[in-house]
């Protein structure tokens, strides 16, 4: 239910006509909840524009994968290309929204999402390019880790993906924007209060609930 709540809220960040990159992990699940008639092109940095939902058992094509090595489907009109062309799209500012997972986010909008020291890292992926190339960066993650510790901190303790790159953060408890004034709380999830959010957030933030 926690992930479903986050994904449904993240879906509101996508508008018809957009070119959207979904990061590995939880963001890839958004492809499954996009309406079939929604005019959006999902891009994967390994060279696919026009990702569809996860395949059924009969649709699986082991050669058709996203950046997370998961099998996917392709929408009608999809395009395939090399990763150099894919990263040219990203670095050229042609991605409207990048929705990425996060391990930590700081109160100034720094993002750490690519490695935990001492654990196996398959590669840095495309997140470092996406946080600088996409027009709008949305991070989705659970508010606390498995130990109950806040993942929203005064400053990140894990290696950074990018500094001051997050535009919006969506968790299972709240939605924050990052502005020149600082981190701003703009929404609280149903069933929770601002006090709940404060109790589970190490970072300082401004309240501006609409």
Active-site residue numbers? 45
Among 99, 87, 201, 103, residue whose Cα is nearest residue 152? 201
Sheet strand arrangement including 152-153: 111-112, 104-106, 152-153
Among 128, 105, 114, 113, residue whose Cα is nearest residue 177? 105
Identify the bridge partners of residue 101 per DSSP, sorted by sequence position.
140
CA dihedral 160, 26, 138, 113 (to 10 degrees): 0
Handedness of CA 132, 9, 20, 48 (dihedral sign): positive
Q: How far apart are CA 20 and CA 26, in angstroms?
A: 15
């Amino acid at each position: 239910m926690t992930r479903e709540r986050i994904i449904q809220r993240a879906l509101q960040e996508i508008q018809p006509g957009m070119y959207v990159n979904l990061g590995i992990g939880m963001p890839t699940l958004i492809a499954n909840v996009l309406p079939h008639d929604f005019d959006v092109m999902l891009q994967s940095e390994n060279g696919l524009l026009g990702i569809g939902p996860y395949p059924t058992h009969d649709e699986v094509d082991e050669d058709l994968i996203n950046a997370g090595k998961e099998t996917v489907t392709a929408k009608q009109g999809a395009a395939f290309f090399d990763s150099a062309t894919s990263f040219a799209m990203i670095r050229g500012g042609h991605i409207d929204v990048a929705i990425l997972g996060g391990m930590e986010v700081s109160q100034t909008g720094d993002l750490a999402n690519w490695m935990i020291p001492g654990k196996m890292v398959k590669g840095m992926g495309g997140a470092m390019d996406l946080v600088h190339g996409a027009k709008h960066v949305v991070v989705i993650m659970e508010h606390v880790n498995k130990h109950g510790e806040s993942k929203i901190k005064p400053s990140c303790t894990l290696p950074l993906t990018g500094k001051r790159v997050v535009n919006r953060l969506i968790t299972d408890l709240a939605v924050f924007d990052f502005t020149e004034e600082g981190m701003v709380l703009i929404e609280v999830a149903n069933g929770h209060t601002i006090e709940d959010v404060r109790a589970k957030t190490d970072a300082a933030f401004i309240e501006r609930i609409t």
